[in-house]
């Protein structure tokens, strides 16, 4: 049983990151489906690396946004900008297409369009600005780690609640790999919530609320415009939650909430 869970975790890590980690003993669609419960655990790893970069950089540059820029760069490097790419493709497809088929075709196009460039630039700027407001400490580390973990938990929830929109035959995810079960979503959410212990309760609640509201926008837009989610839409949901969560944490802390 332990070996099976380790295989699922290894599958999740290989799917979501570029880290040179040992892979599962055998890869298959069922393994990928069952690994979704550990997507937030991979988020804890990625967020932990980003938080470490931020805290170390804060010792060298105590003021300014450079530590935040380096932390964001570390996250993109570790994941290969996996979720950022999904955000840009989703913005291009949902913003530029006139029909579900055309929107899906645009999302498959590797070229970056105006909507994608704007969405990517604004989201990165917002994340850097938010993290730049954090002072070095456990609360800052907890906010960064929680943003990554909960963003991936939101994506897992969308896989459960939304239908799949793209052509199954052309998808990298076979039908069984998109079959996320309710208890697996609960596991993912529980993992994502763990880093909130480092944040004041009211600050954590504000971050969660803003993150959830922001994640609903691409989820509902995709449901209306293309009939459900794709891998790119999951990336957009993750980025929306991550960004809004950080903005909410900074705003709540600035208001003196505890």
Write the pLDDT tens digit of every residue in 145-201.
Answer: 999 999 999 999 999 999 998 765 555 555 545 679 999 999 999 999 999 999 999
Handedness of CA 252, 253, 257, 258 (dihedral sign): positive
pLDDT computed for residue 168 by the predictor: 59
* Whole-angstrom distance, CA of residue 174 vs CA of residue 105: 19
pLDDT computed for residue 179 by the predictor: 79
Q: Is the pLDDT of residue 205 over 70?
A: yes
What pTM, to 2 d.p., does this model score?
0.94
Other Cβ atoms within 10 Å of 48 Cβ, number = 16
- C-alpha dihedral, 220 to 94 to 168 to 211, nearest 10°: -40
Question: Nearest Cα to 149, choosing from 191, 184, 183?
Answer: 191
* Whole-angstrom distance, CA of residue 50 vs CA of residue 141: 8
2-43: pLDDT as tens digits: 888 888 999 999 999 999 888 777 677 788 888 999 999 999
Q: Which residue has the tokens 């998109």?
A: 178
58-79: pLDDT as tens digits: 999 998 999 999 999 999 999 9
Q: Is the pLDDT of residue 226 over 90?
A: yes
Q: Is the pLDDT of residue 102 over 80?
A: yes
pLDDT: which is higher, 33 or 241: 241
- Residue 229 phi/psi, 5-degree rounding, is -105, 160
Mean pLDDT across the chain: 92
pLDDT computed for residue 140 by the predictor: 92
pLDDT: which is higher, 97 or 73: 73
Strand partners, 153: none
Q: What is the DSSP string of the chain?
A: -HHHHHHHHHHHHHHH--------SS--HHHHHHHGGGHHHHHHHHHHHHHHHHHHHHHH--SSSHHHHHHHHHHHHHHTSHHHHHHHHHHHHHHH-SSHHHHHHHHH--S--HHHHHHHHHHHHHHHHHHHTPPSSHHHHHHHHHHHHHHHHHHHHHHHHS-B-S-GGG-SS-GGGG---HHHHHHHHHHHHGGGGGS-HHHHHHHHHHHHHHHHHHHHHHHHHTSSB-HHHHHHHHHHHHHHHHHHHHHHHHTT--
pLDDT computed for residue 176 by the predictor: 46
108-136: pLDDT as tens digits: 988 999 999 999 999 999 999 999 999 88
* Whole-angstrom distance, CA of residue 213 vs CA of residue 91: 17
- Tokens for 212, please give them: 């959830």
* Whole-angstrom distance, CA of residue 150 vs CA of residue 132: 20
User: What whole-number percentage of the chain has pLDDT above 70?
Assistant: 95
């Amino acid at each position: 049983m332990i070996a099976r869970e380790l295989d699922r975790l290894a599958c999740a890590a290989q799917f979501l990151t570029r880290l040179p980690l040992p892979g599962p003993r055998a890869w298959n669609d069922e393994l990928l489906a069952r690994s979704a419960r550990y997507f937030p655990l991979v988020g804890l790893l990625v967020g932990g690396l980003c938080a470490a970069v931020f805290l170390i950089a804060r010792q060298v540059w105590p003021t300014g946004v450079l530590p935040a820029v380096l932390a964001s760069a570390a996250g993109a490097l570790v994941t290969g900008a996996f979720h950022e790419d999904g955000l840009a493709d989703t913005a291009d497809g949902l913003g530029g297409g006139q029909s579900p088929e055309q929107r899906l075709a645009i999302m498959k196009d590797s070229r970056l369009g105006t909507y994608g460039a704007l969405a990517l630039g604004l989201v990165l700027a917002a994340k850097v600005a938010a993290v730049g407001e954090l002072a070095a400490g456990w609360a800052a580390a907890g906010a960064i780690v929680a943003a990554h973990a909960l963003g991936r938990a939101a994506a897992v929830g969308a896989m459960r609640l939304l239908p799949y929109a793209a052509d199954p035959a052309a998808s990298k995810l076979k039908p069984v790999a998109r079959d996320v079960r309710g208890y697996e979503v609960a596991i993912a959410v529980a993992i994502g919530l763990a880093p909130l212990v480092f944040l004041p309760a009211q600050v954590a609640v504000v971050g969660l609320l803003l993150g959830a509201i922001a994640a609903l926008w691409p989820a509902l837009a995709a449901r209306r415009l293309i009939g459900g989610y794709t891998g790119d839409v999951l990336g957009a949901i993750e980025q929306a939650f991550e960004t809004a969560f950080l903005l909410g944490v900074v705003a709540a802390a600035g208001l003196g909430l505890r």
